[in-house]
Homo-oligomer: A and B are copies of this chain.
Amino acid sequence: MSKKWVYMFSEGDASMRSLLGGKGANLCEMINLGLPVPDGFIVTTEACTAYNAGGKVLSQDVKDQVSACMANMERSSGKKFGDASNPLLVSVRSGARASMPGMMDTVLNLGLNDAATEGLAKLTNNPRFAYDSYRRFIMMFADVVMGVSKHTFEHALDEFKAQKGYSSDLDMSADDLKEVCNLFKAVYKQNHNEEFPASALEQLYASITSVFQSWDNPRAFIYRRMNDIPYDWGTAVNVQMMVFGNMGDDSGSGVVFSRNAASGENEIYGEFLINAQGEDVVAGVRTPQPFGDLKKTMPAIHDEFIDYAKKLERHYKDMQDMEMTVERGKLYILQTRNGKRTAQAALKIAVDMVNEGLINRREAILKVDPRQLDQLLHPNFDPTALKNAKPIGKALPASPGAATGRVYFSAKDAELAAERGEPVILVRMETSPDDIMGMHVSKGILTVRGGMTSHAAVVARGMGTCCISGCEEIRLDMPNKKFELDGHTIKEGDFISLNGTTGYIYLGEIETVEPEISGDFAEFMSWADCVRTMGVRTNADNPHDAKVALDFGAEGIGLTRTEHMFFEPDRIPKMRKMIMAETEEDRRAALGELLPFQKQDFAGIYEVMGERPVTIRLLDPPLHEFMPNTEEDYAGLSKIMGKTVEELKAKAESLHELNPMMGHRGCRLAVSYPEIAEMQTTAIIEAALQVKKEKGFEIVPEIMIPLISEEKELQYVKDICVRTADKLICDSGIKLKYMVGTMIEIPRACLTADKIAAEAEFFSFGTNDLTQMTYGLSRDDAGRILSDYTEKNIFEGDPTARLDQTGVGELMKMAIAKGRCARPGLKLGICGEHGGEPSSVMFCHDIGLDYVSCSPFRVPIARLSAAQAALNQRKED
Contacts and interface: CB of A to CB of B under 8 A. Distances in A.
Interface of A: 430, 657-664, 668, 671-672, 707, 709-710, 712-713, 716, 745-748, 751-752, 769, 772-778, 780-781, 784-785, 788-789, 792-795, 799, 804, 806-808, 810-811
Contact of A807 (B747, B769, B794): B747
23 contacts: A657-B778, A659-B661, A659-B781, A662-B662, A662-B772, A662-B776, A662-B777, A663-B785, A668-B785, A671-B792, A672-B784, A672-B785, A672-B788, A710-B795, A713-B794, A716-B794, A747-B807, A747-B811, A748-B774, A748-B776, A751-B774, A751-B811, A752-B810
Nearest to A658: B780
A53 to B, nearest CB: 13
Nearest to A796: B712
Given A668-B785, A781-B663, A788-B672, A746 B775 contact: yes
A664 B780 contact: no
B784 A751 contact: no
Nearest to A430: B658
Contacts of A780: 657-659
Contacts of A806: 751-752
A716 B792 contact: yes
B773 A663 contact: no
A780 B664 CA distance: 11
A709 B664 contact: no
A671 B794 contact: yes
A203 B707 CA distance: 48
Contacts of A784: 664, 672
Contacts of A672: 784-785, 788
A664 B774 contact: no
B657 A781 contact: yes
A660 B794 CA distance: 21
A810 B659 contact: no
A752 B777 CA distance: 16
Nearest to A673: B788
Contact of A781 (B430, B658, B710, B776): B658
A412 B66 CA distance: 75
Given A660-B659, A662-B661, A746 B781 contact: no
A662 to B, nearest CB: 4
A796 to B, nearest CB: 9
A746 B799 CA distance: 15
Contact of A776 (B773, B789, B804): B773
Given A658-B780, A659-B780, A710-B799, 15 more contacts: A659-B781, A661-B778, A662-B773, A662-B775, A662-B777, A668-B788, A707-B776, A713-B794, A747-B747, A747-B773, A747-B774, A748-B775, A748-B776, A751-B811, A752-B806
Contacts of A773: 662, 747, 773-774, 776
A776 B746 contact: yes
B709 A778 contact: no
A781 B751 CA distance: 23
A615 to B, nearest CB: 20
A669 B747 CA distance: 25
Contacts of A772: 662
A847 to B, nearest CB: 15
B747 A712 contact: no
B668 A709 contact: no
Contact of A660 (B713, B774, B781, B793): B781
